[in-house]
Amino acid sequence: MKKNGFLTFCFAFIPGAGEMYQGYMKRGLSLVMVCAAAIALGSLFYPLVGFAFAVCCVVWMYSFFDTFNLRGQLLAGTAPEDDYLFHLGYDVSLERLLKTRHKLFGWVLVAVGLYTLYDELVMDFLRELYWNSENNWIIRVIYNIMDQVPTVLVCLALIALGAWLVRGPQQKKQDPADDPFEPFEQLPGQLDFGGEDAEEEERHDGHEQ
């Protein structure tokens, strides 16, 4: 079914909406999720606001032109099948994804929980002390230091991640027990030349005696 060109143009300004309007729900949902994740990170972690804005701009530009490219493919009859941008089809369920990446999801939840506790409890308490004790320089110093903790932690995490990517995954040392080459074992029926030589020497010594 041919979609209205004016409505397609209007929906193209919303990341993912143009694809969804033309029936590509998985493709559009992927773009919406990327924008939503970037906005959530930018709102939770102030140092990532610029990064989140850049991600949203890239996704918006891709979605805008992808909408019209997809429309042309549909009119020409050469449109591809609908699929997630991250290749999460029906064979990859949410339960399976959580089982394989449960540690990653766990650390993300821990980080979000700690930041929420820090911002809503610790910093609120320090703000009250900061505004109610203008002449106490110790509280002002503590407040300024604690206010920069998220920025420092995010910078350290990015540095650690970059160093890990540069170094690459380390190969595990091979366990000798896992060596595919097994020691040579004597096959049944194989001649033991060492044993026969010993028996001949014993018989020869007996004859000499």
Residue pair 58/34 in contact by the 8 Å Cβ criterion: no
Write the pLDDT tens digit of every residue in 58-74: 999 999 999 999 999 99
The rounded distance, in Å, linking the Cα atoms of 13 and 16 is 9
| pLDDT at residue 207 is higher than 60 | no
Write the pLDDT tens digit of every residue in 17-62: 999 999 899 899 999 999 998 898 888 777 678 888 989 999 999 9
Residue pair 70/24 in contact by the 8 Å Cβ criterion: yes
* pLDDT on residue 132: 79
Residue pair 96/41 in contact by the 8 Å Cβ criterion: no
Residue pair 109/61 in contact by the 8 Å Cβ criterion: no
Which comes out higher in pLDDT, residue 182 or 117? Answer: 117
pTM, entire model: 0.54
The rounded distance, in Å, linking the Cα atoms of 79 and 113 is 43
The rounded distance, in Å, linking the Cα atoms of 209 and 117 is 96
* pLDDT on residue 14: 93
